[in-house]
A and B are shown apart, each in its own frame.
Chain A
């Protein structure tokens, strides 16, 4: 994992949006894509099925330009949510600097979220990464749905957020909470870098 390269003065952050199928990972990326000035974003690569489900993964590179003398780039990835694409998920997860776990706020999707969370944990372990050490934020998406269908952020925190990581209610389709989530994960990732260099 080469996050900061002082020789070439580059910072590259790989952030993976993880979560169960149809929770809104790709929507997050689309929203970001729409807000990044053209000059700063690369081509968004999306391999989707005919029914618009992510088949392989989405990839959105963002060039933040020179920050403190460093060419700073963010690479945003999503994984396919469906259970049977686990090999792809594991592959995408490799070398991730931070993970955004996107959960579907609907009450009936809670089990899938839990399952996906466990899947994240085991996939990270396969890469030799302890889930407790990797920068992680939670996003409770689809908070715009009718109250009777969804769980509140507090309930979702109780159910999913065992590690008390930062969590954000979101409506990815309309952009609510998207940048807040991205900002939070970026900060975690970059702070970890500081801790690493100080050690």
Chain B
């Protein structure tokens, strides 16, 4: 039942003047920090003065600032209708739950609460629930709460407890600005002075002003000739409002001559004086409405004949644009710092640059992938082919194909290696900010951030990353807050097509302690399993490890080790390690024979040891302390003799 927000009704298209500045400022504040400042915000004004526009603008702005917010806009009538439908369907509770989970509820035209006792009670309950949960509620009405007939006193006090603000009829300058903007939007252009004539009429609301503009547009289109000020005056009946005094004395003979003169002078003044003044005033209104300081422009108005008006305005706009860019950049790093006044004062651009520089310097990038795991060193084979090709797809088109990518496999199979390898490759892209870290570190960072009251900063740090890679996602189990944060971060990054990669020891849906919403999101991408290393993988790993140990890779040794059963890459590396250490201990070269001796405890066919001597196969480190012959078991029974007696 919720109405969609009209895309035209944004703050950008809202003309701000003295009559609505307070309401707009409050609206902007609410959109920036829903639920925390003016809650509820109650806006009232006569019909056609922009309540709905402002309400929708709040919705648009809040959504633009935090896309995950759940925002509902609806008129009171729609709300009532939805309520009745829900009650009729026996879904009253579901209805209440639905609205209680809204982050910002925008209700239009609440004056229709009159004579609706049950809806008043419902709305009271909802307002209380939303307030308690810190969720924003914005209401509009054509009159203040206290004047809505028959309204529950508790609702009045609720509404009045936030901010009640009104919007008045726009003044002349604002009317001119509105007309100009709307004429621009329609691509209509008028002779100088025409719109000013229309603006002189004190229409009771903007809607009627638009009606007058429509008449002008239509008239001009039909007549195929530019409309004169006088024709405009006749068309909208502006005469009376424009010069009441003239009409008062209009009875005098030849009064028309003077009126005509007055009109001509008005047009001329409009062309001459007001041309630049209007430009300045318009700029002041616009930027003031957007929350920027306009001292520089106002100073222009104090001068009699300022020079270079347009140049000053252009320079001002450039400064504002720069501030905007800075504020946006800072907002990504530290939302609190972006709210500083210096980002709203075009006369302090230099200071703003400095402040942005400080934030930039202070915002450490998220942990980067480790250089110890290059992609080139990742051994691939049939056992991990799926994961490896998925990784390549991710590297080629991050965020496009497999998002998220979840690498699943037992410990020691190289998940971490592949994760960091992906991270390193992604980090090569221009402008990439790759966050790659263990889940434990992620949790610890969040705890530290909560402790230091810098959660916003922490969030911003990750939000600006172009890829997030988390190792051992199962460690999130039981960490509700981190799961919540990850959930939001996940959505934020996914919305912007940023790549997400995770590793887990098992299929996500088999992991305990993970919230369903996280599991389902992990399952939503590609879950690639890495199996026990096959021969290809083992050979590659061996080549690398032996190469690292600078041991000459004797083909026999290679074949032997590659054929040894090893459930994980890590254990294979461990085997090599043992052989190499043993060789070092015995001061012998690393050979297949030695390896067999070390790993199997059996002498090679042409072994050096006498046939009678059998060793346990245990590796004894040369540095070990077990030197005493008495403490060593030197003679072990042959394997065939090693009978384990079953105890019955």
- Residues of chain A touching chain B, judged by Cβ–Cβ distance below 8 Å, are 2, 4-7, 11, 34-40, 64-65, 67-70, 72, 175, 179, 182-183, 186-187, 190-191, 193-194, 196-199
B83 to chain A: which residues have CB within 8 Å? none
Residues on the B chain within 8 Å of A11, using CB: 269, 273
Taking CB atoms, residues of chain A closer than 8 Å to B245 are 37, 39-40, 65
Min CB distance, B304 to chain A, in Å? 6
With A7-B302, A68-B266 already in contact, the answer to whether A191 and B257 are too (CB < 8 A) is no
CA distance A34 to B269 in the complex (A): 24
Contact at A35–B268, with CB atoms within 8 Å? no
**With contacts A6-B301, A34-B254 known, what are 11 further pairs, Cβ within 8 A?**
A6-B302, A6-B304, A67-B270, A68-B277, A70-B269, A70-B274, A182-B261, A183-B261, A186-B265, A191-B272, A199-B305
Q: Are A194 and B272 in contact (CB under 8 A)?
A: yes
Question: Which of B172, B257, B272 is most buried by chain A, counting CB atoms within 10 A of its CB?
Answer: B272
- Assess whether B86 is interfacial by the CB under 8 Å rule: no
Chain A residue with the shortest CB-CB distance to B310: A198
Set of chain B residues within 8 Å of A183, measured between Cβ atoms: 261, 264-265
Q: A35 near B272 (CB under 8 angstroms)?
A: no
Give the size of the chain B interface in residues (CB under 8 angstroms).
Answer: 40
A197 with B306: CB separation less than 8 A? yes
Asked whether B112 is an interface residue with its Cβ less than 8 Å from the other chain, the reply is: no
Is the contact region of chain B dominated by helix, strand, or loop, or is it mixed?
Answer: helix
| Structural contact, A198 and B276, CB atoms closer than 8 A | yes
Q: Are A187 and B273 in contact (CB under 8 A)?
A: no
Known contacts A68-B196, A70-B269; A175/B257 CB under 8 A: yes
Q: Which residues of A contact B248 (CB under 8 A)?
A: 37, 39
Whether A193 contacts B273 in the complex (CB less than 8 A), given A35-B258, A68-B196, A179-B260, comes out as yes
* Most chain B beta-carbon neighbours within 10 Å: one of A67, A70, A186, A193: A67
Give 1 or 0 for each of B274-301: 1 = CB within 8 Å of chain A CB: 1111100000000000000000000001
Q: Which residues of A sit under 8 angstroms from B260, Cβ to Cβ?
A: 179
Q: Kindly identify which residue among A6, A37, A67, A175 contacts B269, using a CB–CB cutoff of 8 Å.
A: A67
Tell me the minimal C-beta distance from B530 to chain A in angstroms. 74
- The distance in angstroms between the C-alpha atoms of A107 and B617, with both chains bound, is 141
Contact B254 A35 (CB under 8 A): yes
What are 6 contact pairs spanning A and B, CB under 8 A? Answer: A6-B303, A65-B245, A67-B266, A186-B268, A194-B271, A198-B276
With an 8 A cutoff between CB atoms, is B637 at the interface? no
Task: Name A7's closest neighbour in chain B (CB-CB).
Answer: B302
Q: Are B304 and A5 closer than 8 Å at their CB atoms?
A: yes
Asked whether any CB of chain A lies closer than 8 Å to the CB of B589, the reply is: no
Neighbouring A residues of B307 by C-beta, 8 Å: 199
Q: Are B254 and A175 in contact, with the CB atoms below 8 A?
A: yes
- The answer on a CB contact under 8 Å between A68 and B269 is yes
Residues in A whose Cβ lies below 8 Å from that of B243: 65
B273, A68: Cβ atoms under 8 Å? yes
Question: What separation, in Å, do the CA atoms of A11 and B277 have in the docked complex?
Answer: 13
Q: In angstroms, how far is the closest chain B Cβ from the Cβ of A174?
A: 11
B339 close to A (CB within 8 Å): no
CA distance A183 to B262 in the complex (A): 9
Partner of B273 from A2, A7, A70 at Cβ < 8 Å? A70
Give the Cβ gap from A195 to chain B, nearest Cβ, in Å: 8
Answer yes or no: B226 CB below 8 A from chain A CBs. Answer: no
A35-B248 Cα distance, complex, nearest whole Å: 13
Instruction: Pick the residue among A6, A65, A175 that contacts B277 (CB under 8 A).
Output: A6
Task: Give the chain A neighbours of B258 by CB distance below 8 A.
Answer: 35-37, 40, 179
Closest-by-CB residue of B relative to A197 is: B305
The 9 A-B residue pairs whose C-beta atoms are closest, nearest first, are A37-B249, A194-B272, A68-B274, A190-B272, A197-B305, A190-B268, A35-B254, A39-B245, A67-B269
